[in-house]
Chain A
């Protein structure tokens, strides 16, 4: 392994940024000049290379870091002073430590695979370079988020990835539904961000207030190397305040990591292209909340109350989302709710104090969930952009590579394992989480061990996970029905790629242009240019999948990432778990505050837990197999009326989303209109009142309405003379006195 100096971290950060700038300024030009075929190849390579290079550098830096003694794996590098005023200093600084490097490897590693995949998946896209502009920017922002050595830099990345997510969800902007989904994502995230901001404010306040006592002078209140070591001292004997700050930060994490009640945006975010769902909304961005909890773990260790709340909200989210997943027929929606549910697992772990277990699940989940999304994308690609699983079936026959990889991911997320011998990625991370939660003594609120309750709920959800993932797998890949060949499916709403523009319809209706004046400024296209533009415009109308459609296996740019992720999903968990490698890497000295007996690694009944979790997974798989082995059940067909009421409710997210969105939209609109009316009424009343009350202004008003400028000027002059005269008088009087 080459020994890459830690300073190369600036290149890890800089390369995606350079890629972004190249894409933004040159991408479109390259495609326009070289034509779609070669231009896209070059642009695609330009997009993948910086990320892949950053990944290689990241490996080198991590290897270098691993040679440091465990206590010293914490290097801060400063580039320049970002905000520097007397009361607070926020430098642009990065921290190279095991936690940040783990995230860097996930982001650049999975990121470069998904970039590669996207060069294939988005190959037919007109706005090819715009897509990679956003995607490279996302990687850069995400790296700032994890590498930044203070909470303000984290916040730059935090909102930066939010904007990239906003832009990518609304990538196909011609469909207003996509742009609504994008707005929803940004706005719901902003709610969380306010919590995070307020939490930051209290941290600054506490640090600055205690600075003198602690002998701190440099004003970097938000920097981790100042903040974290002093946390215990600062928050000593302040349980209420500690819980407040911890919960405010958790609100931020809730927004980004889609926990109840702020999970609302994630399912809608599936409106974006599938590589985006895989990269941003499954593998990296949504785990930022878990990263934050790990980064600030000292604070959460200090507050058992906040931790208990986190654990129980995680458990509720996991359960709630898993139930909703049963009502979904859109393959991406199933995966979206599955992501929400798995994120819930990570929060159970963090709440229970098993922070490394949360990060472990972040890692393994990045492997298999990215694989699932990419596989789903390949299926959607092969099925002419049909996302409804009711139109699938028997696809393993047509898509052997994709199918095989998806099956691996299915086994991995279900958490199957051979006792005492070997398990797939999901098995190890889930078992670690459940072990930590069931035996932990940290997440206790009001004398109740909420962490343990969360652990039991987690076990149930593990069974449900295996169940609905089996449902998805069987409906897609197995069974003898090839349902897109059946004629019974009504044409339905489509997500991906359904960006049919309705312009063509309107165009003819209004084609008779009214006579425009001469275009002196050259603002408009001439009629001839208009005609040329209309020709160039691609009318990619969406077609429903034909019964005669023959699915074809996807190209190597798409299946190579699948295969790599497949391998990782098989051995990744086992590799990181064996010898307790991952925990020793992340937390070599254990937690700062909590003693080991409060957050034990395993319960004493380790073997029993292993059998319990394998049993749950097996039960889920068997249940799924039992119900879906014959293909699509009659009661889940196209006719929603035949569905079980519970499943119908689940399909609608138990009406939670609807109520929240409708309520806020309607309420907001009513309030806005009311205030707007008041505003208008208020002004006129006020102006007229003043005019009526004072003769001077009334007169002025009248003069104004005559529209005579000179009169107005004269009035001003008179007024000025009046004021000056008054001053003269005052001065004389004073002088006399």
Chain B
């Protein structure tokens, strides 16, 4: 953790769009072209600068890097603290990349261009802020701030029912995050009680959780912890969104302008799953086994339900919106499988969904710009009319189906594998049948996506309006082409994405599953995770010295995380439903696939 005091790379990336937005505000709105080009240049610059993060990022450490700290309100322990780890790294890059895509597409916007571009840039800053914040209130502020430009985008540039959609979007997510705010304040109070230090810092609070101090003093430990867990979870469930609070998503997508849809599906939904990884797992380890079942159940229902409802939509955008519900279900399934494979898969699936669904909305936007309709009944037989468009659509569609060789497969495969493994042993409180049912969602995905492709591209091209259509322009092909590159990159060499997040995922898993003293702490810089997924004590580094490589002093044996696994015995029926915790910290053994780990004493 190399702390810089003052502004650094992350702040530059985060606030560059904001500066751009302020700049745009000063330019009169009749210079539409200038606004478009300017916004595009700013987002491209942001993307290029954000790539610099990759150069300095050290992927072997799970600690927050590029940390910046500016004291703010000492009394409340509320400071400007940003930093990234392997999990947020890719989400930051995804955000800067997809914003470039969305802004480039927005060259087609012709209504209130200035305001539109400002909204996009504000949205980018707030989204980046969410992924880099290390302070609870800062996180909350960005989390809510992202709501406003998005809601306004739907509201001003939306379709016919935009009022309704914007209100619904706003109310759903706002109500959800209110609970989170309460949870944050409660954590603050608990932390102050336990340590005497007022701090909203995620690092401080997690350290108190890791050392067991935070929950020590609290009465009714499990009840309170469970309550707070759900206060956070609800906010993220709504954001994800998961069944049954997903209903804002289809309306928001249908009404939102294309750039809004790309951002909404590509990045905003990831805030939910990111929050789960960042807060729900590390902060509430004791109640996880009791509550994971319900999240897994909701995710599984979402996968099946979203797919079935998607199949009967007459509007292609709505279909993709419902498919998002199903796909995000796989992310949640992976994250809460609490197995290393599954969590990696879930985290990977976040990126994949951003790329493929973002690309789908982009393609739909391209055809909508031309035909001003998204209804299946207006299309058909486009394949002979627009061969390149259809080829690109086919690739993206197959990536969404989860075809091996495309990025969609890696995430789904690992997430399902992890969930199935945890389920098979029954130790996490859910049984193998949940992921087995979720796996059938893969069939349903093929059903609705192939139907979508058939209705758009196959058959005879009988609508005379469509016969006038030219194929995509070169710059449009290039725009979609960049996304296609990532589809195959993610599918054929996923290690690029999996490696940098591995330490962070492993650490998060240990934070969630390890017993007291077996949990890594973001504050304790002597903690690292070795390549086998064990928590190790490393020698203290000289101040200002390089972060890694470290010398391992000893392996910290997580108190209750057993690196041992009983082969499943089919005669012994796996435990179903949430297990009751007996005693205080008697966690069930985790599925540890890393055989080389230390044996349990």
Contacts and interface: CB of A to CB of B under 8 A. Distances in A.
Interface of A: 80-88, 152, 155-156, 158-160, 163, 166, 170, 173-176, 178-180, 183, 186-187, 190-191, 193-194, 197-198, 200-202, 204-206, 208-212, 216-217, 219, 238, 240-241, 244, 501-503, 506-507, 510-511, 513, 516, 521-525, 530, 668-669, 671-673, 675-676, 679, 682-683, 686-687, 690-691, 697, 700-701, 704-705, 707, 709, 716, 723, 727, 730-731, 734-735
Given A86-B532, A193-B442, 13 more contacts: A85-B340, A87-B340, A176-B458, A186-B450, A200-B417, A201-B417, A523-B369, A524-B468, A672-B309, A672-B311, A690-B175, A697-B171, A727-B76
SS of A interface (majority) = helix
Given A186-B450, A241-B568, A687-B171, A503 B502 contact: no
Contacts of A81: 495
Given A521-B108, A530-B467, A183 B454 contact: yes
A524 B168 contact: no
Contacts of A679: 247, 309
B85 to A, nearest CB: 16
B460 A174 contact: yes
A216 B596 CA distance: 9
B492 interface: yes
A241 B148 CA distance: 54
Interface stretch (B49-57, B226-234, B398-406): B398-406
B457 to A, nearest CB: 7
B473 interface: yes
Contact of A159 (B244, B404, B458, B469): B404
B580 interface: no
B531 A86 contact: yes
Top 6 A-B residue pairs of the complex, sorted by shortest distance between their CB atoms:
A87-B593, A672-B312, A211-B595, A683-B247, A179-B458, A156-B404
A682 B247 contact: yes
13 contacts: A83-B414, A156-B405, A174-B384, A174-B459, A190-B442, A197-B439, A204-B421, A205-B424, A523-B369, A676-B309, A682-B247, A683-B247, A727-B185
B403 A159 contact: yes
B447 interface: yes
Given A159-B403, A176-B454, A503-B460, A731 B244 contact: no
Given A211-B595, A524-B469, A735-B75, A240 B570 contact: yes
A191 B443 contact: yes
Contacts, number: 232
B539 interface: no
Given A668-B308, A671-B308, A83 B198 contact: no
B341 A87 contact: yes
B181 interface: yes
A238 B567 CA distance: 10
B403 A675 contact: no
B94 interface: no
A502 B459 CA distance: 9
Interface of B: 75-76, 108, 137, 148, 152, 156, 163, 166-168, 171, 175, 181, 185, 189, 192, 198, 244, 247-248, 251, 305, 308-309, 311-313, 339-341, 344, 369-370, 381, 383-384, 398, 403-405, 409-410, 413-414, 416-418, 420-421, 424, 436, 439-440, 442-443, 446-447, 450-451, 454, 457-462, 464, 467-470, 473, 492-495, 498-499, 502, 506, 531-533, 564-568, 570-571, 593-596
Contact of A686 (B166, B247, B494): B247
Nearest to A499: B460
B404 A155 contact: yes
A166 B506 CA distance: 39
Contact of A524 (B305, B410, B470): B470
B295 to A, nearest CB: 20
Contacts of A80: 493
Contacts of A240: 570-571
A506 B464 CA distance: 8
A672 to B, nearest CB: 4
B340 A86 contact: yes
A704 B166 contact: yes
Given A176-B459, A197-B439, A668-B308, A209 B417 contact: no
Given A86-B532, A87-B533, A705 B341 contact: no
Contacts of A244: 570
Contacts of B339: 87
Chain A CB count within 10 A is highest, among B108, B305, B341, for B341
Contacts of B175: 690
Nearest to A144: B405
Contact of A86 (B189, B439, B446, B502): B502
A92 to B, nearest CB: 8
A81 B443 CA distance: 28
Nearest to A81: B495
B454 A217 contact: no
B440 A194 contact: yes
B454 A668 contact: no
A98 B171 CA distance: 64
B595 A216 contact: yes
Contacts of B436: 198
A217 B596 contact: yes
Contacts of A704: 163, 166-167
Contact of A731 (B76, B457, B468, B469): B76
B446 A186 contact: yes
A171 to B, nearest CB: 11
Contacts of B405: 156, 159-160
Contacts of B370: 523-524
A727 B77 CA distance: 12
Contacts of A85: 340-341, 344, 414, 498, 502
B464 A513 contact: yes
A160 B442 CA distance: 15
A437 to B, nearest CB: 30
Contacts of A238: 567, 570
Nearest to B366: A523
Contacts of B341: 85, 87-88
A587 B400 CA distance: 41
A81 B340 CA distance: 18
Contacts of A212: 564, 595
B565 A208 contact: yes
Contact of A502 (B369, B462, B470, B499): B462
Contact of B568 (A205, A673, A735): A205
Contacts of B447: 187, 668
B50 to A, nearest CB: 25
Contacts of A193: 442
Chain A CB count within 10 A is highest, among B189, B198, B309, B447, for B309
Contacts of B460: 174, 501-503
Nearest to B367: A523
B566 A209 contact: yes
A173 B383 contact: yes
A694 B316 CA distance: 35
Contacts of A163: 398, 403
Contacts of A206: 567
Contacts of A87: 339-341, 344, 418, 533, 593-594
Contacts of A507: 464, 467
A85 B410 CA distance: 12
Contact of A197 (B403, B416, B568): B416
Contacts of A197: 413, 416, 439, 442
Nearest to A701: B167
Contacts of A159: 403-405, 409
A705 B167 CA distance: 9
A217 B597 CA distance: 10
Given A676-B309, A690-B175, A731-B76, A202 B424 contact: yes
B219 to A, nearest CB: 18
Nearest to B531: A86
A623 B507 CA distance: 73
B142 to A, nearest CB: 13
A468 to B, nearest CB: 33
